[in-house]
Amino acid sequence: MFRKILIANRGEIACRVIRTARRMGVATVAVYSDADRDALHVEMADEAVRIGPAEAAKSYLNSAAIIEAAKASGAQALHPGYGFLSENPDFVEAVESAGLVFIGPSANAIRAMGLKDAAKALMEKAGVPVVPGYHGEKQDAAFLAGEAETIGYPVLIKARAGGGGKGMRRVDQPADFAAALESARREGESAFGDGRVLVEKYMAKPRHIEVQVFGDGHGNVVHLFERDCSLQRRHQKVIEEAPAPGMTAEMRAAMGQAAVRAAAAIGYSGAGTVEFIADVSEGLRQDRFYFMEMNTRLQVEHPVTESITGLDLVEWQLRVAAGEPLPKRQEELAIDGWAFEARLYAENPARDFLPAIGRLTVFDVPDGARIDSGVRAGDRITPFYDPMIAKVITHGRSRSEALSRLEIALEQCRVGGLTTNAGFLVRLCRHPAFAAGDVDTGLIGRAGETLLADPQAPEEAFALAALSALGFLKAAADPDPWGHIRGFRLWGAPAQTVFLDHGGAEHALRVTMLAPDRFRVEHNDIETELRVQSADGRSVRADFEGRVFSATVHRDGNDIAVFFGGHGHAFALAEEAGHHGAAAPGGDRLVAPMPGLVRIVSSAPGARVAKGDALVTMEAMKMELVLAAPRDGVVASLPVAVGDQVAEGALLLSLEPEEAA
């Protein structure tokens, strides 16, 4: 076994590898960019080496700097994690040329599966079924449009390199093909350096089912059963589970054997995942699943496989890379129970899952669930990397038990300081179709606003936020007995008004102290009464209109987060009315939602636009963000041009005032 390994990654997966290596007695070396100098993975590793500035291209994609760090630290092997350089065959060859061991498959295996079109041709030869479509080299736009007509709409345009849903566009009619093709090419070029695509038949009710495979250097290949990854938004996974709902023993055997054939066809060694798409319009059938792609690395969702098998896949990776045979044979592997993984992201589901950036003022995780994370309270989610905060993993004897545990764990996650998808995930757990196991990749899209829109904060949350803003909760927690009567007046109940921003709207709340622990709150012409039974600075026990409940309230400067009833509600303190209010929908300005690069400008000063027209396309966090006109009107100014790098909140376009238009 290795004495020391370097982890060529960051965040959650770097921390995950460090934990297993430490248990195995293997020393670890972390690498970090300037943005990650104080990151958790740097703190956890035995030693750490700076490899460059914040931009991934100059740090985590800087293969020369990473290899030099490995050599200088005395590491014997290099674990790539997932993403970044994990599926780059040139990097594998450079690692091996430096006398180091790459903890993963060979460069040849990665090349064989790295391009979707070539991989599908190889799989056809190996007898693995593939999705109907065009997987050839010809990339002329008119030719591809013709192939789409032949395949029949709807079709799916997919970047032939990479993954993660980037460079993927669904097209429902011929008139939209050209624009979708260009968009997919741009995103593929940006994310993977390859703008070439393939075109496939889009299935009406597809399920994304993948099979975990493992090979070694002794000719052995096994599969560790399947995972269902059908719950997706923007072609990116949201919740994964193992095993797949409705899977029969016969179907599992057929998919497992196909996955093993795929891995054996390229002499695969290490952890890999063979991804299939299944047409379930008539249920799961052995003749309706097709090879989609193979990920030649450890998957983000590997913990659900670990949960149902009781294995540590990172340990298997290290042992195989060190030359050992697979620890178990196929007949020794079995499924125990059910597992789910939910990806907790800093993003806004109500705004098409737009990534959020900022500081994690609160990050408390529940007991009773496995939490894989690379951040802690006080860390920042930056625009440079993926905005995942944590993976929440639960296991149970049955699907319903594991899902119930996931819902409870998500409800108990306390994340403050930025917008997250936590509420969306809780609502998804409660969706009747998902709860029943009736899943497919279109479920989230069909559910629409019932999943996406965060509910308005209830009056209890407003009241607690107001008390926190005025310092009354802090006084209630004060061990000084005189602290409980601060603000109390002998000759009449004192009243104060506080202004809070919530969801972009400003709210005025008038709070009257009736007693040291009892308050009247006036909000939206409604009077309510709240009594604070106990408070310790974070946890609050309160009686609101006769209903007793517990909550967590956290204040960080002007930001206040209130957690209760399975939801988190964010407020911002404004010093006076109008001070902190956000622009109302349908306003005159289009601003950058985050730092990024201006890719397309589709209008000009003086042009008349309609609400919803695409005006500016930005690239941020390796995604294309299409920004639309907030209302009908005439463009007054357009201070940006293609190629401009803009900061968050930068003015991109303004409309003439409505009376002028």
* Amino acid making up residue 646: V
Which residue reads 């079995």 in tokens? 334
b (16+ CB within 10 A) / e for 416-439: bbbbbbbbbbbbbbebeebeeeeb
CB 289 within 8 A of CB 255: yes
CB 552 within 8 A of CB 609: no
Catalytic residue among 111, 196, 207, 297: 297
CB 526 within 8 A of CB 493: no
Which residue reads 């737009």 in tokens? 354
Q: Are strands 77-79 and 101-102 parallel, antiparallel or unpaired?
A: parallel
CA angle 223, 226, 230 (to 5 degrees): 150
- What CA–CA distance (Å, rounded) separates 21 from 9? 15
b (16+ CB within 10 A) / e for 195-207: bbbbbbbbbebbb
Distance of CA 416 to the CA centre of its chain: 17
- What CA–CA distance (Å, rounded) separates 471 from 530? 15
Q: Are strands 47-52 and 27-33 parallel, antiparallel or unpaired?
A: parallel
Count of C-beta atoms within a 10 Å radius of residue 93: 15
Active site residue 589: no
Identify the DSSP state of 332: G
23: helix, coil or strand? helix
415: helix, coil or strand? strand
Full 3-state SS string of 420-483: CCHHHHHHHHHCHHHHCCCCCCCHHHHHCHHHHCCCCCCHHHHHHHHHHHCCHHHHHCCCCHHH
Helix (H) or strand (E) holding 274: strand 270-279
As given in the structure block, the two tokens for residue 329 are 């044979």
Q: Are strands 505-515 and 518-523 parallel, antiparallel or unpaired?
A: antiparallel
- What CA–CA distance (Å, rounded) separates 98 from 110? 19
Cis peptide before 243 (omega within 30 of 0): yes
Q: What residue spans of 265-361 are helical by DSSP H?
A: 302-309, 313-321
As given in the structure block, the two tokens for residue 287 are 């003749």
b (16+ CB within 10 A) / e for 364-374: ebbeebbbbbb
What's the alpha-carbon Rg for the chain, to the nearest Å?
Answer: 27
Q: At residue 556, what are phi and psi to the nearest 5 degrees? A: -135, 100
CB 413 within 8 A of CB 344: yes
Which residue reads 């030693």 in tokens? 47
Strand order across the beta sheet in which 133-134 lies? 133-134, 197-201, 155-159, 168-171
**What residues form DSSP beta bridges with 617?**
600, 626
By annotation, the residues acting in catalysis are 297
